[in-house]
Amino acid sequence: MIAAETQLRALMLASLDGDARAYRRLLDALGTALRIYYRRRLGGADAADEEDLVQDTLIAMHTRRATYDPTQPLTAWVYAIARYKLIDHYRRGKLRRTVPLEDAGAIFANDESAAALARMDLGRMLESLPEDTRGLIRATKIEGHSNVDAGGALGLTETAAKVRVHRGLKALADRFAKGGDHADR
């Protein structure tokens, strides 16, 4: 863009004199430069915002083209306007950074708090069991491994592992199903 300064400035001077063809070429070139400028600054996150800003800036430059001082670099003028529009965009964004009410349903549709609480309770219950049993139940009932694999890791036969899991679950059921105070949490 800096290399293009001379050329763009010549186009601008012709445009100020009313040369529509020069103006067309100027706006095309500036549109491209502005797109790059905004893409870099918005991080390419929102293409619609980007194009809105490009158009906004082109309109601003058009309506206020008399503010260009022909003795000054054109690029300084262009980027000062682009920067102003970018700041303006951020400022507007800050005012709108709340979610419209009609979109709130989608955010709260999947209530994951119950599942999270259940996971926490399960962890606390398992802690009351001996370490080997706890590991077996976690491996077979939660992570879905077979009794053979889970038992093998502890040097147990399939049957022995099965029995250990069964006893562990029974112990849990006895403790929490009757007690009630823990299970209700």
Partner 1 sequence: MRTDDLIANLTSDLKPVRRGGLELLLGAGLVAGAVVTAGMMAMWLGVRPDLHTAMRGFAFWMKAIYTLALTVVGFLLVERAGRPGSRLLPTALLALLALAIIWVIGVMQMMHAPAADKPSLFFGASYTVCPRNILVLSLPILVGVVLAMRRMAPTRPALAGAAAGLLAGSGGASVYGLHCPEASAMFVAVWYSLGIALAGAVGAVSGKLLLRW
Question: Site residues (CB under 8 A) for partner 1?
Answer: 15-20, 23-24, 27-28, 31, 51, 54-55, 58-60, 62, 64-70, 72-73, 76-81, 83-84, 88
Kindly tell me which of 73 and 135 has the beta carbon lying closer to partner 1: 73
Percent of the chain that is helix, strand, coil (3-state, to 5): 75, 0, 25
**Rounded to the nearest whole angstrom, what is the least distance from the CB of residue 43 to partner 1 in the complex?**
20
Kindly tell me which of 4 and 183 has the beta carbon lying closer to partner 1: 4
Kindly tell me which of 63 and 113 has the beta carbon lying closer to partner 1: 63
Which candidate, 121, 112, 124, 161, places its Cα nearest to that of 141?
161
The conformational region for residue 180 under phi > 0 = left, psi -120 to 50 = alpha, else beta, is left
**Rounded to the nearest whole angstrom, what is the least distance from the CB of residue 35 to partner 1 in the complex?**
8
**Rounded to the nearest whole angstrom, what is the least distance from the CB of residue 112 to partner 1 in the complex?**
42
Question: How far apart are alpha carbons 81 and 74 in whole angstroms?
Answer: 11
Residue with tokens 């309506």: 63
